[in-house]
């Protein structure tokens, strides 16, 4: 199945394995073909390489003293440790 080149109804019903079937079976098989094509396209999109993950700057924690108390700034706020994740 070529997910990039969809067969039209006239192309599909002229295939050797389809042309001698009753019309109801042809329609059923074409609908199944369209469903499978849609699923294959969806899978192809999902599993494409999206490139490297974008890193964002995040708060990791607070700077501590040796006694495990927060090391504070002059204004009394904690010193935040940041990193990329």
* DSSP of the chain: --TTSPPPHHHHHTSHHHHTS-HHHHHHHHHHHHHHHHHHHHHHHHTS---SPPP-EEEEEE-B-TTSPBPBPTTSPBPEEEEE-
* pLDDT tens readout for residues 27-52: 999 999 999 999 999 998 888 877 77
Residue that wins the pLDDT comparison between 35 and 59: 35
d(CA 25, CA 3): 22
Instruction: Give pLDDT, residue 66.
Output: 79
What percent of the chain is predicted at pLDDT more than 70? 100
Q: 57 and 41, same structural domain?
A: no
**Are 57 and 41 within one domain?**
no
Minimal CA–CA distance to 26: which of 36, 35, 15?
A: 15
Asked if residue 4 is part of any domain, the answer here is no
In-domain check, residue 1: no
What pTM did the predictor assign? Answer: 0.56
| 56 shares a domain with 84 | yes
In a domain, 67, yes or no: yes
pLDDT surpassing 80 at residue 85:
no
Q: What pLDDT score does 84 carry?
A: 79
Q: How many domains does the chain have?
A: 2
Residue 70 structural domain: 52-85
In this predicted model, which residue has the larger pLDDT, 51 or 10?
10
């Amino acid at each position: 199945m070529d997910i990039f080149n969809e067969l039209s109804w006239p192309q599909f019903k002229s295939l050797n394995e389809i042309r001698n079937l009753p019309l109801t079976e042809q329609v059923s098989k074409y609908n199944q073909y369209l469903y499978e094509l849609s699923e294959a396209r969806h899978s192809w999109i999902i599993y494409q390489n999206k490139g490297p993950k974008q890193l964002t700057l995040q708060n990791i924690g607070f700077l501590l003293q040796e006694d495990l108390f927060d090391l504070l700034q002059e204004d009394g706020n904690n010193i935040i440790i940041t990193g990329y994740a």
